Each structure stands twice: as structure tokens, then as C-alpha cells.
Amino acid sequence: MLSYDVIIVGCGPAGIFSAIELVKNIDLSILMLDMGPQLEERRCSAERGPGCVRCNPCYLLTGWGGSGAFSDGKLTLSTEVGGWLDEYIKIDELNRLIEYVDGIYVKFGAPRQLYGTDIGKIEEIERKAALAGLKLIPSRIRHLGTENCSRILSAAKQFLQRRVEIRTSTEVKSLLVENGQVKGVETKGGEKLKSKYVVVAPGRVGAEWLTSEAQVNGLKTLTNPVDLGVRVEVPAPVLAELTETLYEPKFIYYSRSFDDMVRTFCMNPSGEVITESYNDIVTVNGQSYAEKKTGNTNFAVLVSTKFTEPFKEPIAYGKYIARLANLLGGGILVQRLGDLEAGRRSTEARLARNLVIPTLKFATPGDLSFILPYRYLEDIKEMLQAMDKVAPGVYSKHTLLYGVEVKFYSSRLELNNNFETKIKNLFAIGDGAGITRGLIQASVSGVVAAREIERRERCKQ
């Protein structure tokens, strides 16, 4: 049986930054595992054909770089956005860690330009938002661009591969635990790998697996809210005033009808709508490039629902809604906001004369009211009406709604402040552990876990 000091499960931002921190400060044998392929082998078949063919695993979500490799690469430098690390780390320390990991991204080639620094313009947007019943979460953002993400991740890999063993296309089946202490992992191919420490960073695509392993090993999980909604596409000029100042304006709204929290997420100025696959289901997402531009801007509107006892399956609920969309639309469904208001499905003919031309060409015209619960649709419409007061044109009959968008970070392991589980030397980090939902905070979680491992190893010396 091969033996290592540390095994890192998952080669997304959390896993990568955990490895970077470990190799910088201490000499340990480290193995990184990921179910997806190497970065240069990651190609989405939807780019060449008539849509998502449900690759398993999805090359957009798995492999070196994780889902961040094909995101539009927004580094949100805020303690308020991108996760719940402020529940584990004091704000001052969290700010220092955010600056630290941001510096590493810059070292690997991230652009130096920052959005969200013009205080005067931000205060004016905040004022308009408040009058519309919206809360703006101002934050500095460093935009990488989808095409730059690969280059930065490649630089990180080059830095690590001289010091770390990296195995892609290797799926972990289970954790090896004895007497309350982690001993390694077993791969799907039946190979057992021994280690003193295991850091699990499986990403959103691995959240369900991690929850299952937690149940097998008697670990308590906490339920995060389910984030479920649509991706919205409008003409880029409609949101230009906001995106030129903030790049990604983040709004929170509490609906009149149900008092649900609704938020914008992952805005992509002059970007395009894309798909991603979670095993047997297809969901919608968005991306934008630093250089390549479209005439549209897209963003998600997500409704957060915190389910109470006895319901304990938020991921299963999200997948159920996504499967329903796939059943009715054969994949991703698109509807004009005007058609939704009129109580009718969208058609190819109405889309052909729509002012907003879909950037996701193979989305099927349909009716979202057959998929999303009435409560969710009302919340989404209220949010768009409020946004229209800040950016006129958002609530237009020509606005496109793609369904559905789901974020699978809905089960959180019970962790200490170093992200260690109740199983000794087993750490869980990143989006898959339910504690982050963005590149920066995922990266920070990797650094924190690595520093604790380093501290323990130095105490032995």
C-alpha cells in the first residue's frame, strides 16, 4: 500500500491552495487526486455539438482546476460574499487571508485591475438600491476572465508538480477510517492509499459523495439553504452602469410575498450562458471572457430556502427540480419574461423576433411555470422588478430566463475552526464541504487547513 503524509481529494481552488501552502513551508509527501482529467484534456462536447451530452464526469466541473477552470474567474475580495468562513475565522484574520490568497493569484498571472473601488459611484448605486428595497453588497473584484483561468491554473500546476504527485482521472470511492482517525482513501479502482492526513475538497460536484461518506462514518451534517432559480439574460447596456463600476453587483432582496431571501449571483458582463452537467442532470450557468465579448449580460437570480426538520435532503430536492427541467426541455429550457407573465410558453417564433438573442443556442423554448414552484417564480419576478428600478430594462418582456440554475453546496459538515471533522486528521474544505461558494473563500479554506497540518507536523519535530 502506497503511503503519503497528506492526500488531497479534489484539485479545485481549495485543494490547490492547500497544496501550495503545504509545499511552501514544510517538506511532506503529498498526493492530489481528482476524478476529472488534466487541464489540457478538459474539453466540453457542447462546444462542438448540439448541447450537453451529459459526460460523466462533467469536464466543466471536474479535473485540474475544478469548476473554477471554466468559470469567468471572479475573485471577490470580501468577507461577506462567497461563503461562511466568517463563522469560523475572525474578520480581521479572514481579511488578511483573503489578501494573502489574492496575492498568490496575482503572482500566478491574475490581472492587477480591481473593480469596486470608486466609492462615490458605489454610494450612488447603494442609494438607488435601497430605494428599490435591495441591499447592495459592495466588494472589490478582480476579474480573471475564462480564458485567463486556464493560464493561471496551469502556472499553479507547474509550481506544484515538482513537489506533489498529481493523479487525475482517479475517483475516490471511500475514506479509510480506524478508531476515529483517518488512515487514507480507497479509489474506485480498488487501490488503497495510506496517509496521515486527508483533506477532502470535492467541490460542488462531490458534495453528495461527501455527505454520503459523512453518514457512513457517523459525522454530523448541517443543512445549508437550497439555492435554486434561473439565469437571466439582458442586453449588456442595461446593466453597463453597474458592471463598469462593480463588475458584479451583488444584490439581496427579501420578497414581499413570502419573505424569502433572493440574491443575484455570478453576473457576466458581455458574457454567455453555458451548461454544466452533474452526472445525469444538466443545469445552467454563465461565463465571460476578458477579451471575447457578446452583446448580452447574464446573471443568476437564486432563491434561498432553509428547510427544517424532518427534511434533510436539500441536494436531492435541487436535483429533482433540475431533472424536471431536463424532462420538459430535453436539457435547458428558456422563456421570455413576457411569455411567463402572459402565462404561455415561449416558442421558436417568439424567440426569433425577441430583442435579446439567446447566447445558449440549443436551449429549448418552454414554460418555467411547469418546473419551478409558484413561490420561487413570484420571488424571482419581484427581484427583477426591484432591479428594474436600479437598472431600467431588466424587467422587460424581452428578458430571457433559463432554467434551472442550482447550487449544490447544501450540506455542511460539522467542523472546527481549522476545518477538521470529528475524525482526527480529516479536513473538509471548499464548496463541497458547504462552507464556501466562491474562488477566494475556497482558496482561503485550503490555506487554513494546510497551516493546521503544518503546525501539527512541526510540533512533532
Tell whether 255 and 365 lie within a shared domain: yes
Tell whether 328 and 385 lie within a shared domain: yes
pLDDT, position 246: 96
Tally of domains within the chain: 2
pLDDT, position 170: 96
Tell whether 402 and 420 lie within a shared domain: no
10-residue stretch averages of pLDDT, the chain, 461 residues long: 96 97 95 89 63 69 80 90 96 98 97 95 98 97 89 95 95 98 98 98 90 95 86 98 96 97 96 87 89 94 84 80 90 97 97 97 96 97 99 99 84 93 98 93 98 94 72
Tell whether 455 and 345 lie within a shared domain: no
pLDDT, position 181: 98
pLDDT, position 207: 87
Tell whether 80 and 95 lie within a shared domain: yes
Would 452 be classed as within a structural domain?
yes
Would 135 be classed as within a structural domain?
no
Domain that holds residue 366: 226-407
Beta bridge partners of 176: 184
* Tens digit of each residue's pLDDT (9 = 90 or more) over 255-277: 999 999 999 999 999 999 999 88
Q: What is the CATH number of the domain that holds 433?
A: 3.50.50.60
pTM of the model: 0.87
Would 353 be classed as within a structural domain?
yes
**Which of the listed residues 365, 381, 407 is the one where a domain comes to its end?**
407
